[in-house]
Amino acid sequence: MGDFGVIADVSTIIVETLNQALDGLGMLEKPIAKLDDLLDTPTTPPPTLTVFLYEIAEDPTSRNRPPVRSLPPDPPTTRKPPMALLLRYLITPWGGDQVTQHRMLGRALQALYDDAILDGGQLTGSLAGSNDSLHVTLTSLTLDQKSWVWYAIQKPYRLSLNYEVRVVNLDVESAQRVRPVQNRIIDGVARR
């Protein structure tokens, strides 16, 4: 389960996965993947694959989960279920020629398709050692939707990939103590 740093942890995992994939391109100048907010055009060389988190939303398929109860021997508590997040990323190649950029995109597609579910030893940070798994999916956006993303960051449109990562569980901090039932009333008679 993830603490408040889970969003940063997921972004780091995506960048590390892409950097491992770009190692295998065998190019003279090794491309890199990095987290970037795209405020400025990334500096090259080396050729760069930027990973930009452009939207965080609550995953609608995970709403209305029941409260989480503690297991013995811990004192009985209950807490809200973790908030299930959906993270949307824009992955864009920069630098080099068009062939280099297309190779970087192809390798990113291949790596995130081969490892569409990131779990176990691939998870780091607050997700390390957890039973969580991150499902990485290429999102098909229309050209208008893609253009709006680029318009929002005030950059001219570039060929890029859109990915969704779900379910990212953000734990709640507070838990409520639950008192065990000590007696009950059935048909007006108290029983123990």
Across 164-176, average pLDDT: 78
Residue 128 has pLDDT above 90, yes or no: no
Give the number of other Cβ atoms within 10 Å of residue 60's Cβ: 9
C-beta of residue 91 within 8 angstroms of C-beta of residue 108: yes
Rounded mean pLDDT, 74-83: 78
Which pLDDT belongs to residue 121?
Answer: 84
Judge whether residue 54 has pLDDT over 70. yes
In the structure, what pLDDT confidence band is assigned to residue 184 with cuts at 50, 70 and 90? confident
- Given this structure, which CATH class describes domain 6-64+83-173? alpha beta
Note the pLDDT tens digit of each residue in 99-124: 989 999 999 999 999 989 988 888 88
Is 80 exceeded by the pLDDT of residue 26?
no
How far is it, in rounded angstroms, from Cα 49 to Cα 31?
7
Closest-CA residue to 159 (of 175, 174, 146): 146
* pLDDT (average), residues 72-91: 84
The arithmetic mean of pLDDT across residues 61-82, rounded, is 76
The per-residue pLDDT for 11 is 95
The pairing of beta strand 133-138 with beta strand 161-170? antiparallel
117: left (phi over 0), alpha (psi -120 to 50) or beta: beta
pLDDT above 90 (res 192): no
C-alpha–C-alpha distance, residues 145 and 149, integer Å: 7
Query: So where are the chain's domains?
Result: 6-64+83-173
pLDDT at 67: 74
Q: What does the pLDDT average to over 133-156?
A: 90
Confidence at 176, pLDDT banded by 50, 70, 90? low
Whether the link from the prior residue into 73 is cis, omega within 30° of 0, is yes
* Neighbouring residues of 153: CB distance < 8 A, sequence distance ≥ 6: 38, 39, 52, 54
